[in-house]
Amino acid sequence: MSATLLPSLETIRRSVATEIAYTLSRLKVLERLPGNPVGVAHRRIDDAATALIARNLPSPDFNRVAGLRAGHAPHIGPLVEWYRENGVKARFEVVPGDCDEDLARELARHDFFQSDFHVSVIGAPAVPAPTQSDAAVERVTSTGLMEEFLQAYVAGWSIPKKLQTQFKDNVRPWLTEPGWMLYLARSSGRPAAAATLYLHGRVGYLADGATDPEYRGRGLHLALVERRIKDAVAAGVDFMCGGAKFMSPSHRNMARAGMQLQFVRAVWTPL
């Protein structure tokens, strides 16, 4: 991938909107479970920002406010109260280019502080030269392949054994979710890594790449990145984006595939 994209507020906002759409899609799968046992709730603030809750799923990805912009300071207090009423610790994400002093001051006034960073990377629609790897990557298009995908996924994300049966039941609907493409990577024929490509508004989002610890260091994650970029380009996206912890293996592999730093978002959590 030799092409580059100039930074712009438009691509930042489209990337954030795609991330929100993907997370909402995941949460709505859980929300459809009888009785909503995960305690999913979400509030659309306006066309930009969304507040997410999954009361019984203690993942920060599902309990956060994303898409905040300058001018949203008046929403902070009501959102803090909404999270408090739901028994969830609020988490606010602020993106460069879409923040102002009023927003930061209001977060600080409610005893939030900047506690972490999260990288967003972006790539022009160009297929990278494949790296040398023995990884065999395939699209998950059948229930049989879905079971192997789940095997690799729970290992890659270290899902506790006692939770795996319920987790797999909750995740099987991903196979038919609109805009989703699931991928499985094998090593020596065995399911070893899994990942997702989400297509939304002509943007391809590289999500949830994970490798079974037994198979790490063999290029499987990078092979999944390269395959998803290739398929996103074939789908006619304007660009690809993804997120990761700064300097994590995921960040570095997306950089190896030619994706470039787009922004580093600030994460605000309670004192």
Q: Give pLDDT tens digits for 109-147.
A: 999 999 999 999 999 998 877 776 678 899 999 999 999
Per-residue pLDDT of 30-89, as tens digits, reads 999 999 999 999 999 988 899 999 999 888 899 999 999 999 999 999 999 999 999 999
- Do 169 and 231 share a domain, yes or no? yes
224 assigned to some structural domain: yes
90 and 171 fall within a common domain: no
Residue 39 lies in a domain: yes
In a domain? residue 64:
yes
CA distance 207 to 205: 6
Q: Kindly state whether residues 92 and 38 are assigned to the same domain.
A: yes
Q: Which residues constitute the domain of residue 23?
A: 9-120
| Distance, CA of 181 to CA of 228 (rounded, Å) | 9
Same domain assignment for residues 112 and 199:
no
Domain final residue pick, 120, 145, 169? 120
Q: How many domains does the chain have?
A: 2
Q: Clarify whether residues 115 and 140 are in a common domain.
A: no
Give pTM, 2 decimals: 0.94
* Rounded distance between C-alpha atoms, residue 48 and residue 44, angstroms: 8
- Per-residue pLDDT, 5: 82
pLDDT at 132 (0 to 100) = 63
Residue 270 lies in a domain: no
Mean pLDDT over residues 219-235, rounded? 95
- Number of neighbours of residue 111 by Cβ within 10 angstroms: 10
Residue 126: inside a domain: no
Residue 56: inside a domain: yes
User: Are 20 and 55 in the same domain?
Assistant: yes
Average pLDDT over residues 244-263: 92
**pLDDT above 70: residue 3:** no
**Domain final position from 96, 120, 144:** 120
% of the chain exceeding 70 in pLDDT: 98
Q: Are residues 158 and 85 in the same domain?
A: no
In a domain, 191, yes or no: yes
Residue 261 lies in a domain: no
Instruction: Let me know whether 103 and 150 are in one domain.
Output: no
